[in-house]
A and B are shown apart, each in its own frame.
Chain A
Amino acid sequence: MNRDINIKNMRINCFRQSKVDGIFMLQMRVPGGFVDAKYLEMIQYMAKTWGDGNFHFGTRQTFDIPGIKYDDIPAVNAYIEKYIKEVDAELCEVDMDKIAGEPHEWDPSSGYPTIGARNITACIGNYHCICANINTFELARKLEKIIFPSHYHIKINIAGCPNDCNKAHLCDFGIIGTYKFDYHPERCIGCGLCAKKCEHGATRVLSLDEGTAKILKDPCCCVGCGECARACPTSAWQRHPEPLYRVILGGRTGRQTPRLGKMFLNWASEDVIIAVLKNWQKFSAWVMDYKPEYLHGGHLIDRAGYKKFKEIMLDGVELNPECMVAEDIFWTETEHRSNCNVKPIELHHTAGPQHD
């Protein structure tokens, strides 16, 4: 097949090249992986009309429609205008006429304007789950307008609780819902169930004091999961009015340096999470000398170093009193190719403004 196709532009438009020449797969954003089921009819129609009749759940919770012919892409883009407007522009209040905060008029029939900021994934959260501390997709919808549209890449995963089913530990900016708890000793019957649950399913920070038949807690190591409140037969453990969040930074998969993320913020308020992420475009721009290119968010942190990241990301952020910030982060990488990070100095990447 003789085709002249700008693959890079296709990718920015969220159409992924396939093994077969001229055939693409569309990836549609579903912020928080949660959307009105009415859109499934739309997905079915698209798959049958322009795709190969099949559907794939994207690994980042996108609606993936494989088998789309290059020539059909304008028709597909025109068809998804309604979806993008309803889900991103209206539900998430995204300003589609901006890219990374800068004015950039969007042609509504042209499909997705950028792929850089990847779809925010989430577990089902406390909309359904008995373990979850937060409404994950509502948070995803609040964050969508901060990171999208943008050519700067970032992967955000939201987990409803520290069990982290959604793998906040394996993305650039993983957000975990937590709570601080009040203990009401006057309601405690000393059954010790919370301590047993904490030992079995959390971090063993609770113990039953044999002298008083009340609970002792090591607040330092509490992960704020809420297993105590879930287990307590008397409501002696009660959540604070508002949830708090843990941010796990710099986790990733990949061929070169897969690694688990590490804690950046602990007990941060929602306002802090939003304020920090508002600095992401600024940080990315600085690292890449204000020339956006498709580069994974974690690599930007590597190039700048954690301390520079911290400086820019916390700029102007008023931390809530409980909030703890990592002074430094020492990631443990798994190098698949021996010493692949050791290389001639001229091959090292740069960070920050470059002076020619």
Chain B
Amino acid sequence: MSYRLSKQEVSGLFEKLSEKYDIYAPKRVKNAGRYSETDIIQYAKISDISEVVWDEKSTYPMKEVLSPIQQTIFYFTEDEYRESKGKTRPMLIFARPCDINAMKVQARIYAGNGGFVDMYYQRMHELARYILMPCSGGDDTCFCVSMGTNTTDDYAMAVKPLEDGMLFEVKDEEFAPCFEKAEKAEFAPEFVKENELTAVIPEIPDKEVLNALKKHPMWKQFNGRCISCGACTIACSTCTCFTTRDVIYGDNPEVGERRRVSASCQIDTFAKVAGGGDYRTTAGDRMRYKMLHKFHDYKARFGESHMCVGCGRCTARCPEFISITVTLRKMNEAVAQIRAELGR
């Protein structure tokens, strides 16, 4: 069912919802940008609906709500330990289709991959319900349509803000009682059909082409351009890599906590292993690894779809203006060249 609420009713609704739910949304943090007098938009708990940033892509992805950059996983004292309690209140999260589709990717990695369900992800996942935000096609870095992530039906409610109120489509029966007295309306969310940007994903038919692509000179250009800061993977909706770190409290090594902290395959120490070996020593190697993970390896392992949801945050956030879609185009050219040379 769909409804139309006045501004006042919307405030009342979210006030009521916040009695049970923590409400998360993209929120502006003034002056927190990389450069002075620039803002960032990040997912955070909101206390008022007016805090939601509707018309601009968030700098950081929605995944931070479910898998924050840092979380404590357990505390230890001598030979005892206790898991962190984590969140207990259910969450309502404002999200766009790309963000919601990205959560499917997160779930595939965290919950079930290798026959193992990550409890820390799962307990957050179970608390999350989504409110679908309207998207008009994003900015000039978005390419969700190319990745097939422009639509979703995985949401509890869909909304559309109006000048004087808000339209709601209520899918999850749990929320129906909130709308008993509300004015009915015709409303179904519209999905983006076209982005300004189109990305073509290279077809890599076999291992021989894949291996030739790995050795292709195209990756070397990134040695001089990419600064290996990792901003792209932190901004990525689907990256899941983390490292763990034991932090000792004060001077007593018997007491402390184990943390999970986001890691980035773009940072130069990422592939360093015990004994000093390092599998990807150049920025070009690391870029190749990321691109193939997003646009080949993930799909090769899980079938269905590619890992990338086309949110474009990596491009938007890169301080060196490396565009993921231009890099894809270069991959396409390299694959075409390789296929011609190998005759396939």
| B5-13, B30-38, B109-117, B183-191: which lies at the interface | B30-38
Query: Given the interface contacts A186-B69, A191-B229, A211-B248, does A238 sit within 8 Å of B29 by beta carbon?
Result: yes
Of the candidates B29, B30, B234, the one having the most CB atoms from chain A within 10 angstroms of its own CB is B234
Contact A235 B42 (CB under 8 A): yes
Contact A233 B245 (CB under 8 A): no
Partner of B230, one of A134, A233, A238, A241: A233
A234 CA to B230 CA in the complex, in Å? 9
Chain A positions within 8 Å of B29 at CB level: 235, 238
Whether a CB of chain B sits under 8 angstroms from the CB of A297 is: no
Whether a CB of chain A sits under 8 angstroms from the CB of B59 is: yes
Contact with A along B25-63 (1 / 0, CB 8 A): 000011111111100101000000000000000011000
Partner of B263, one of A189, A212, A229: A189
Chain B positions within 8 Å of A238 at CB level: 29, 31-32
Dominant secondary structure at the B interface = loop
Contact A187 B230 (CB under 8 A): no
Whether a CB of chain B sits under 8 angstroms from the CB of A231 is: yes
Q: Which residue of A lies closest to B270 (CB)?
A: A191
Contact B32 A233 (CB under 8 A): no
Dominant secondary structure at the A interface = loop
Q: Which residue of B lies closest to A214 (CB)?
A: B247
Partner of B34, one of A133, A177, A229: A229
A67 CA to B263 CA in the complex, in Å? 64
Whether a CB of chain B sits under 8 angstroms from the CB of A248 is: no
Residues of chain A from 158 to 190 with CB closer than 8 A to chain B in the complex: 177, 179, 185-190
Query: Given the interface contacts A134-B36, A191-B264, does A241 sit within 8 Å of B31 by beta carbon?
Result: yes
Contact A233 B264 (CB under 8 A): yes
Residues of chain A from 93 to 149 with CB closer than 8 A to chain B in the complex: 126, 130, 132-135
Whether a CB of chain A sits under 8 angstroms from the CB of B66 is: no
Contact A191 B230 (CB under 8 A): yes
* Chain A residues with a Cβ under 8 A of chain B: 126, 130, 132-135, 177, 179, 185-191, 193, 211-213, 226, 229-235, 238-241, 243
Can you give 26 A-B contacts (C-beta < 8 A)? A126-B35, A126-B36, A133-B36, A134-B36, A135-B37, A177-B36, A179-B36, A185-B70, A186-B69, A188-B69, A191-B229, A191-B264, A193-B229, A229-B33, A232-B34, A233-B229, A233-B230, A235-B32, A235-B34, A235-B40, A235-B60, A238-B29, A238-B32, A239-B31, A239-B36, A241-B31
